[in-house]
Structure 1
Amino acid sequence: MSFFKYIKAVATGPKSNRDLTQEEIGEAIEQILENQCEPEQAAAFLMCLRVKLESDDELKGCYKAFDKYIKRVDIFESVELGFSYDGKTDQPFLFPLYGHILKKLFEQNSDVKPFDIVISGDFAQPAKKGLTLKHLVTSIKLSENIKYFDRSDYFEELSQLTDLRKKLFMRSIFNTVEKLLNPANSKYAITSAFHKPYVKKYFDLFGENYSKMVILKGSEGNPEVFSDFKYWEKIEGDIIEKSVSLADFGIEYSKEYENITIEENIEILNNPSVGIMQLAKLNAAILLFSTKRVASIEEGYCLLENI
């Protein structure tokens, strides 16, 4: 089937552009993933679709197309952390620290049911050139309760589009849909939304895949917090927003990096400051809350204070 009809739908101007149906966007995405169209056609389509702004049906259709290709395993009792694939520049990755903290908690407190942390990485994607999760994971040893999934293994078709996406060098529908691909069939998930309208989009797109899903306004669009933040959860169909202040936990932290390096991140993990350890415990508390182990982030933090 000609790919041109999909380009025409999104690239003929404001008066003639239209949203694609879930079936149409699914067909277009499958052709891109299987290299059944020219790279220039794929780039033009992704760029114009982004400029038009993707509809909810287009996002859902893209996710359904992805779902046909993803190779999953079952680690049901786990929480998936939906990191962005464009990396970090301002703050370090903290998950290796709170992985160790939670491991100690589970060893010392048999009343808390253990769970694994699921993370996914790939080569850097647009739109910024930050330190990637993949770069860090391949440079350190992870705690056994952190399960890393390389996208080149479980979703090779999308990973192989990295060069095309770098040439396009702008965000596309892929950046939104790839946030939570659930390679381990996790029961729980945490991701981040920078723009508030995406909170509802993420719940609509991913929510039904998890027993509980929490969305943070985290650092750099990632599910880790380093300052006061908001979070959202869905309760009986309603999206509930809450605000959290670091001061309420006695945490003072104001450090910000400029293009943090792998060496800096490893040094932080090997020799964490008091503030970094407090932040690691706060992020671990968010995981305890998101996996229904505690009723609130505050309760989770209290549980971890002496770990």
Structure 2
Amino acid sequence: MSFRKYIHAVGTGPKGNRDLTYEESIDMMKQILEQSVHPEQISAFLLGWRLKPETVDEFRGALNACDELIKYTEIPDSIELGYPFDGKRRNPYIFPLVAKELENSGLDLIVIGDELQPAKHGITTKEVCTSLELPNGIKYFDRADFFKNMSDLTEIRMRLGLRTAFNTIEKLPHVAKSDFAITGVFHKPYVKKYVEIFSDRYKRFALIQGNEGTPELFSKGRMWIGSESGTDEFIIDPAYYGINYTKSWDEISFEESLNQIKNPSEEFIKLAKLNAAIYLFIAQKVKSIDEGFELLNG
């Protein structure tokens, strides 16, 4: 179908807009990924699509188109961590420390990275993973290698400079065919939509009110484990586990971020153990987060 029809569907205003069908969403996404249409058309569609806004069927169709172009490397016994590609600005990443805590668990952490995407201008997982000697339990995938079509859209997206549907679609590419996955979510109303979009791609799928939109818990928050049959909610409070870590509200430099990973405080290590316990629970290696935390502190 002509791409102009897709722009018309999302860009004519509340009275004229319409949702794309699942099949149209596949075709739309293929044209964008192949860049067979002009950059201006891609930007116009992404902006209109965001404002319309997007539907679950549209997201699922777009993911289907992505699936056909991704180069998969299956890693059994792994959990995919869905990080935002616009990075973190105020706090260090904790996943390198979490991986160390999980060394004897047999559970690998799947981390995906690429160049910075809109709109936060934070420190990216790629910067961290290419600057540190990573523990064996981290399997890092650079999107430029396994999904070049999406990576090649970076310049267009940065020129637009706004969050788009891609910020949701790109979090969980399922590149390692992991049975388990967790990603961050800001607001509870989005939980149902994320479950409908992603849960059937995994044996067990979780969402967490993580630090700066990441799958990393730094303070009291909620976690949801969703499936087609329903969603279970958990409240997790680091203080309950004797953790008194205070997250930062100020921007930190890349050097300071790396330094806190290389030379972690005692409270940051405790926090890493809690996050590791959460991942063990999601991956069904323990029956509860409490059990996982006790195991890692035993």
Give the structure 2 partner of residue 153 of structure 1.
145
1:305 equivalent in alignment to 2:297: yes
Q: Distance in 2 between matches of 1:10 and 1:167?
A: 20
Alpha-carbon displacement from aligned partner over 1:86-144 (angstroms, at most 9, x marks no partner): 000121101111111111xx1xxxxx5x1211110001111110000000111011011
1:281 equivalent in alignment to 2:262: no
Question: Following superposition of structure 1 onto structure 2, how do residues 176-215 of structure 1 map, counting pairs within 5 Å?
Answer: 176-215=168-207
Q: CA RMSD in A?
A: 1.2
What SS does the aligned partner of 1:255 have?
A: coil
Number of positions where the alignment pairs a residue of Structure 1 with one of Structure 2:
298
Give the structure 2 partner of residue 65 of structure 1.
65
Question: Following superposition of structure 1 onto structure 2, how do residues 176-255 of structure 1 map, counting pairs within 5 Å?
Answer: 176-234=168-226, 237-255=229-247
Contact 2:200 2:227 in 1 (8 A): no
Q: Distance in 1 between matches of 2:68 and 2:227?
A: 30
Contact 1:130 1:259 in 2 (8 A): no
1:140 equivalent in alignment to 2:132: yes
Q: Structure 1: any 5+ residue segments left out of the alignment?
A: 107-111
TM-score normalised by L of structure 1? 0.94
Give the structure 1 partner of residue 99 of structure 2.
99
- Partner letter of residue 157 of structure 2? R
Which of 125, 130, 133 is matched with 2:122 structurally?
130
Identity %: 47
- Partner letter of residue 133 of structure 1? T
Larger displacement relative to structure 2 (229-238 or 279-288): 229-238
- Partner letter of residue 233 of structure 1? I
Q: Distance in 2 between matches of 1:51 and 1:41?
A: 16
Structure 1 residue 235: deviation in Å? 6.1
- Partner letter of residue 148 of structure 2? E
What SS does the aligned partner of 2:85 have?
A: coil
Q: Structure 2: any 5+ residue segments left out of the alignment?
A: none
Q: Distance in 1 between matches of 2:22 and 2:250?
A: 41
Q: Distance in 1 between matches of 2:244 and 2:59?
A: 39
Structure 1 residue 212: deviation in Å? 1.1
What SS does the aligned partner of 1:7 have?
A: helix
- Partner letter of residue 67 of structure 2? D
- Partner letter of residue 285 of structure 1? A
- Partner letter of residue 199 of structure 1? V
What SS does the aligned partner of 1:81 have?
A: strand
- Partner letter of residue 16 of structure 1? G
Structure 1 residue 64: deviation in Å? 0.7
Give the structure 1 partner of residue 161 of structure 2.
169
Larger displacement relative to structure 2 (231-240 or 270-279): 231-240
What SS does the aligned partner of 1:86 have?
A: coil
Contact 2:78 2:179 in 1 (8 A): yes
Q: Distance in 2 between matches of 1:235 and 1:137?
A: 31
Give the structure 1 partner of residue 254 of structure 2.
262
- Partner letter of residue 49 of structure 1? W
Give the structure 2 partner of residue 33 of structure 1.
33
Give the structure 1 partner of residue 86 of structure 2.
86
- Partner letter of residue 67 of structure 1? D
Q: Distance in 2 between matches of 1:171 and 1:68?
A: 24
Question: Following superposition of structure 1 onto structure 2, how do residues 98-117 of structure 1 map, counting pairs within 5 Å?
Answer: 98-103=98-103, 106=104, 114-117=106-109
Structure 1 residue 2: deviation in Å? 2.3
- Partner letter of residue 164 of structure 1? I
- Partner letter of residue 61 of structure 1? G
What SS does the aligned partner of 1:256 have?
A: coil
What SS does the aligned partner of 2:102 have?
A: helix
Q: Distance in 2 between matches of 1:211 and 1:218?
A: 21
